Structure 1
Amino acid sequence: MSDERQGSDSKIILAKWSDRFLAWLIDFIIISSISTTIIFLSFGSTYYEFDEDGLWAENIQYIPTSILFFIYWVILEYKTGQTIGKKILNLKVVDITGEKPKLKGILISCFGKSFLLPFDVILGWILTNEKRQRIFNKLGDTVTVKIKDYPDPSDVKYVKD
């Protein structure tokens, strides 16, 4: 997008926080269901009891589930720019220039979303900028945009100065 676009093709519409949350919620339901099924098949139960230290045994589920989320988001957002939730809501992850993000940017963004989401979002709201980025989106140079308003790269018309 370094070349100038003509007409309405020059706008990128940033996704609203509410749309991003709904996409995340859809992904959360999908991955949590898969994680719970894997745990049930592995241990024969999803019932948790206190361990001898008084800690909930379910806390152990946090790390593998977060890793599953991380893998899911990295693969889908790097390959297509969309998870299932983003696809349903017509959202896509792009780099700050509107192009396909680099793997490093996706890894950074997905790390924050998978392991530190509450801090990532709250700090993003407090320190937000005009691009509606979470902190790890900003660190990874990624933004979430609306697809229906985002032109297909094959439809882009470039002009020279």
Structure 2
Amino acid sequence: MEPLVDCVIEDARWEGPGLESLSLRAASAVLVALGLPQSGFTLCVMGCDDARISVLNAEFRGKPAPTNVLSWPSEELSEEGPGAEPARPLPGEAGEPWSLGDIAISFDTCLREAEAAGKPFADHVTHLVVHGVLHLLGYDHIDDADAELMEKHEVAILATLGVDDPY
């Protein structure tokens, strides 16, 4: 069986904090909280720097600036109505996991944000991976009702991991 998280490290600084283990822990917690099975899904998390994420942000969002995390879902799961729970993905057949999508996370921006907020770096990274996985599962924060729903899930999931409410 393929692992839940495939981690691609483009910036060696991600080796120290253990992006792969933080990502696996965060992604697993999201699946458990949403009642999804731990097997049958995969996702890719790329640890990069501000230069790389700026290029990705410009290419995919038209914003040529660094950001903390970007996500690309494999399938659109969001619902039409504001504040509605997204559709639940079905895990792949035995031996063929279904890809939730890809996440990119910038070391530089994460470090700046964690230091500015006085948060442990690992907690901030965990929050951003939870945030990214929720995006892969159809959650967003485009309008207030959607943001409220997504933040509610983030806070509850992070609490199960011993991470303080980031809001």
> What range describes the TM-score normalised by the shorter chain of this pair?
under 0.3
Report which of the two structures shows the higher radius of gyration computed on alpha carbons. 1
Greater share of residues in strand: 2
Report 1 or 2 for greater relative contact order, CA contacts < 8 Å, sequence distance ≥ 6: 1
TM-score by length of 1: 0.27
Greater share of residues in helix: 1
